[in-house]
Structure 1
């Protein structure tokens, strides 16, 4: 029989990761479930961009913030599942049963939903792709050293595509932006900067195939969306920015009622407490009056949810954990850090 966890955290993004850490402070056992191959949630989509909205943290690249969140989340040894999508949730005798897409069932005393805007997956290219070029096709911003001095094609015409084109050029890449439409959809100021930077733009074309090349990493087949004519185009790396698919079907596959806001977000009259006992929510997926949709707000939500969960499981418990600077759990670690200063 599966081990019964105090908290099943669905979603391994920033909210779920911080909730795992805070649950350790409150002596709660945790299992984290992340549908994607890596923890980090949406931060994985902007690894090279600077994160500015966390108090006392200087501007820090997304990938560094992610690394530190994961390290912090694992401090109290949670059970972590990646490439694991929870597809159904039932309740029996005050226990929750979460079924994953591999047919396994996980048991918890409570559930904390931290799926953000749903399980987010980048929209993939629908055309033929040669197997040997997989390492050079990206759906998130590639490592800046990998693209320095290389030819990068970015497919897309929205804000992210244009921002990334400008950013990649600043890292020394030769950049081409390819877009299916007649006019870019990005913010006017950024489009103007794109022109000022001299970044090459190919309008009215889509990518119709990707093959291995000899002198470059790949050869793209570009199809004119108006004339249907095709041309070959050489490049080293390809970054796809076609938007994201959002899957929140889990919330429709529960065996109990959950009140929603705008037919999507979990409605919480008291922050983080859903309409069903034992089910809590934190981060972008839940709504309450005055909700702040910032990364810093997600951390507050996570701590609030864990405190609510602790009280649900043990009504006699103290309202919140002792602040980390005085918490005895960190005594030895604090001593080592001071010694190593």
Structure 2
């Protein structure tokens, strides 16, 4: 079993930047990600513009994911996807072993926990329907607005995401309907007002009662809805159905009870501003980490990552410099800089 300097549990913004920065410090790492792709929760808003990352004005989530991954893999870390770490513990020899639900084990000298706020699974309609619909025209996210161009779209939901998508589809889709179970929207006031002043057809006090398949049974052709005030049913024809009624949060930070972590709200790891936890050899970064003055932005996660890696480097090599040399003076970039020039 190959022993890495660091096992990074989580392949979102924090974990990817930690892998990059560890490469700058000549540490070998392994990224272990629960989902099938890297990028973390940014996958939930691939078409949204992200404005609060330093030096990157207005970048769409999908492009940001690509750039994060490119940067995170700069120094060729080992990447393991589709593996949920069910627990990790420390061995008698001082190493850490991370074990996945499938029984795979990964050894490392140090651990960085970068699991964010948990695994967010979209809630599904409480109906019986063919799961193949989710492979055709029943969606829980929008990845590309252009896929909905000139189509009749029905959105189910009344929160920020549902209303954002409805507003974003104005002028893209041929027609947009919004189905909501009451008449109060849990969204930012500006976005709710924009929605009500738009061409979106809003159906309040309305519940989806049935998904009607097409003749082949492979996609949704229409939905049967019921107005809870009038108790009347009616049908809406559609090309695309977007269900955005919330998420179930599955906690994804598990460890051996012998590791005495300080936790907040039974989940978030209480640590320091330099990413140290109450367990020696284990560091936490990004949304999973809690400390006074914590900044819950992607930029804050990057700072956590650099701090964690620097602490790990010093713990493994006390004679090392306290911090990585900046990229303009770091010889690890010599070859890559030449490649860029060529």
Name the TM tier (shorter chain).
Answer: over 0.9
Aligned to 1:256: 259
Match status 1:115 vs 2:118? no
- What is the CA-CA distance between 1:152 and the residue it aligns to? 1.5
Q: CA deviation at 1:97?
A: 1.2
Task: Tell me the CA shift for residue 224 of structure 1.
Answer: 4.0
Alpha-carbon distance between aligned partners in 2 of 1:162 and 1:141, rounded to the nearest angstrom:
13
In 1: Cα distance, 2:173 partner to 2:198 partner: 12
Identify which range, 42-51 or 21-30, moves more after superposition: 21-30
Q: Equivalent residue for 2:195?
A: 194
The residue that corresponds to 2:18 in the other structure is 19
Question: Deviation of residue 292 (structure 1)?
Answer: 0.9
Distance 1:118 1:51 in 2: 21
Structure 1 residues 164 and 319, CA gap change in structure 2 (3 angstroms): same
User: 2:153–2:173: 8 Å Cα contact kept in structure 1?
Assistant: no
1:44-70 CA-to-partner distances (Å, cap 9, x unmatched) read: 000000010111112110110000001
1:125 paired with 2:128, answer: no
Whole-Å Cα distance in 2 between the matches of residues 129 and 118 of structure 1? 27
| 1:257 positional shift | 0.7
Residues 1:84 and 2:83 are matched in the alignment? yes
* TM-score, structure 2 normalization: 0.92
Counterparts of 1:81 and 1:225, CA distance in 2: 48
- Aligned mates of 1:258, 1:36 — CA distance in 2: 25
Q: For residues 290-329 of structure 1, what are the structure 2 equivalents within 5 Å?
A: 290-329=293-332
Shift of 1:222: 2.4
The alpha-carbon distance between structure 1 residues 309 and 229, as it changes in their structure 2 partners (threshold 3 A), is farther
Residue number in structure 1 paired with 2:274: 271
Counterpart for residue 231 of structure 1: 234
| Cα deviation digits, residues 74-114 of structure 1 (max 9, x gap) | 12111212221111111112111111121211111111011
Which sections of structure 1, spanning at least 5 residues, go unmatched? none
CA distance in 1, matches of 2:272, 2:154: 47
2:287 is aligned with 1:287: no
Deviates further, 220-229 or 123-132: 220-229
Report what 1:157 is aligned to.
158
Matched, 1:95 2:84: no
- The number of residues matched between the two structures is 338
Q: Between 16-25 and 251-260, report the one with greater CA deviation.
A: 251-260
8 Å Cα contact 1:88/1:254 also seen in 2: no
Root-mean-square deviation (CA, aligned residues, Å) is 2.1
Runs of 4+ with >6 A deviation: none
Between 1:213-222 and 1:84-93, the stretch displaced more is: 213-222
Cα separation, 2, equivalents of 1:189 and 1:310: 47
